[in-house]
A and B are shown apart, each in its own frame.
Chain A
């Protein structure tokens, strides 16, 4: 992906009175990528989109598009289109006229408009509904009109502000797939905003995790999930277990951490030194649970008792009360070879994990 960025945000700051909505944020957006801004409510995602679209003016920094600064360029002269969460379709126009709006503003010829509208209509699969009014469509269909109305203008960058949040669960999953398909088909850059981490992980090429107007981490979904760089990202994206520990020995590239009095060998990516207090993070599916009755622990592990067993079909979720007092969450895959290994509430177990699967912060 060594392309030049199509949009660059450099140290962009935006304040509303005394609220800093976007705080010296820098971000490179590359041609053709599906970039997701993920973060809790109020962290400034919408404001970033509105700054790129030109609805808000920035207080500091600059936004560069195709190498030229955008400062002061009004929204109607930016090669960017937005899909709003509320869709905001024009209620007095037919679907056709809604989609044709941008082209009419550019004063294209009638036949050219009709050709391009037809194309957009077929991309979002709305054939046959062109003569209806927006209020005669379902939520999912209105969503598609909002998409078509934006993409018909062939923007370089399409901004989507939580476009799926008004849809119910089933429709939402369907639209996630549709959005990906449209993205692939058009090859244009998508900047997608959501506070739903599953949506972000399943759709994006890259995710920027935002918090309080800043980007905490940016990277591929796998990187964000497997190697969170800080506690905020670790906690915000997916379930995670956090153990307090202390480095007791350091080797070349690895280290030994004392967790509840047990020495665990971990990767030392961050050059921790002896005596340092650290947090060891483990995803539920990275932990291994063994029943004491099957085998006694040979390597360091944490003992505990099963508190709760939740069967999920392919997997089983366990809540384990550790002897040290904390409660952890573990997901185990069913092992076809050991169908008689059944977890039950109250069983004594020990928990460990393969070397290197942990994240130490």
Chain B
């Protein structure tokens, strides 16, 4: 009896979480353009979607920004976390807590302050500023993820590597990097998804010359939800699903 109740409860939660997405995916195959009732199966909206030039361009832009910003943030964040762990310097603790502050600060604040910063230094908003902004908000997540793993290491692991004759670079390359790899990948995936669906910070830090998908969708939705948006959302959901699955397999292998 208790078992049944538990399963039902779990099922309910999952339904609650996933019904909206399922509905969306289902309607992306609906023939009807305007109504919410089912009128038959079609793949038309997907065809419309993939032939919509500006939308596809925004999608490509989004991918480029997400790939490059998460990669840059991962490299910088990993080196940063390592530096925080390896070197003792003045204000180390305070600096590290600022990483958390950055992570917690509301997007709107970050968006506005970045915009003001770019204006101050005379950068006009576009691809470059957007990339910088995305690197900025991804960086703390990578740092925190990597630092969490590094601080779980045996505290003599660096000493051992050096004792056995490794230079600083060899130690980083042969000991730190492989041991940190799961955290680095996790940080990258996290950054990638954060960057891909960011609306608020991007809204302030890009201009009309460089459109990205979430902003494009946002402006389209204001004129009403079109079925191709359903199709697009379904595609994006598939991408996230793939990312999660890849991550899962990677970590399952690691834990064996």
Q: In chain B, what residue has the closest Cβ to A97?
A: B174
**Docked-complex contact A84 and B165, CB < 8 angstroms:** no
Q: How far is the CA of A87 from the CA of B161 in the complex (A)?
A: 12
Main SS at interface, chain A: mixed
Q: In chain B, what residue has the closest Cβ to A84?
A: B156
**Docked-complex contact B165 and A88, CB < 8 angstroms:** no
**Docked-complex contact B163 and A92, CB < 8 angstroms:** no
> What residues of A have a CB within 8 angstroms of the CB of B167 in the complex?
76, 105
**Docked-complex contact B163 and A90, CB < 8 angstroms:** no
Q: In chain B, what residue has the closest Cβ to A75?
A: B162
- What residues make up the interface of A, taking CB atoms closer than 8 Å to B? 53, 55, 74-77, 80-82, 84, 86-88, 90-92, 101-102, 104-106, 149-150, 153
Q: In chain A, what residue has the closest Cβ to B179?
A: A92
Q: How far is the CA of A76 from the CA of B154 in the complex (A)?
A: 19
Tell me the minimal C-beta distance from A290 to chain B in angstroms. 55
How many pairs, one residue from A and one from B, have CB atoms within 8 Å of each other in the complex?
Answer: 61
**Docked-complex contact A153 and B164, CB < 8 angstroms:** yes
**Docked-complex contact A101 and B161, CB < 8 angstroms:** yes
Task: Provide a sorted-by-A list of 16 A–B residue pairs whose CB atoms are within 8 angstroms.
Answer: A53-B163, A55-B159, A75-B162, A76-B162, A76-B167, A82-B163, A86-B154, A86-B155, A88-B159, A90-B160, A90-B179, A92-B178, A92-B179, A105-B170, A105-B174, A150-B164
Q: How far is the CA of A92 from the CA of B173 in the complex (A)?
A: 13
B76 at the interface (CB under 8 A from A): no
- What residues make up the interface of B, taking CB atoms closer than 8 Å to A? 154-157, 159-167, 170, 174-175, 178-179
Closest 8 CB pairs of A and B: A102-B164, A88-B156, A105-B165, A88-B154, A75-B162, A84-B156, A88-B160, A92-B178
> What residues of B have a CB within 8 angstroms of the CB of A81 in the complex?
163-164
Partner of A76 from B155, B166, B174, B179 at Cβ < 8 Å: B166
**Docked-complex contact A90 and B165, CB < 8 angstroms:** no
Q: In chain B, what residue has the closest Cβ to A74?
A: B162
Q: In chain B, what residue has the closest Cβ to A105?
A: B165
**Docked-complex contact B174 and A75, CB < 8 angstroms:** no
> What residues of A have a CB within 8 angstroms of the CB of B160 in the complex?
82, 84, 88, 90
With A75-B163, A105-B164 as known contacts, state yes or no: A90 contacts B175, CB within 8 Å: yes
**Docked-complex contact A105 and B166, CB < 8 angstroms:** yes
> What residues of A have a CB within 8 angstroms of the CB of B166 in the complex?
76, 101, 105
Q: In chain B, what residue has the closest Cβ to A80?
A: B163
> What residues of A have a CB within 8 angstroms of the CB of B170 in the complex?
105
Q: How far is the CA of A72 from the CA of B179 in the complex (A)?
A: 29
> What residues of B have a CB within 8 angstroms of the CB of A88 in the complex?
154, 156-157, 159-160
14 more A-B residue pairs beyond the given contacts A82-B163, A105-B170, A150-B163, with a C-beta to C-beta distance below 8 A: A55-B159, A76-B162, A76-B166, A76-B167, A81-B164, A88-B156, A88-B159, A90-B161, A91-B179, A101-B161, A102-B165, A105-B166, A150-B164, A153-B164
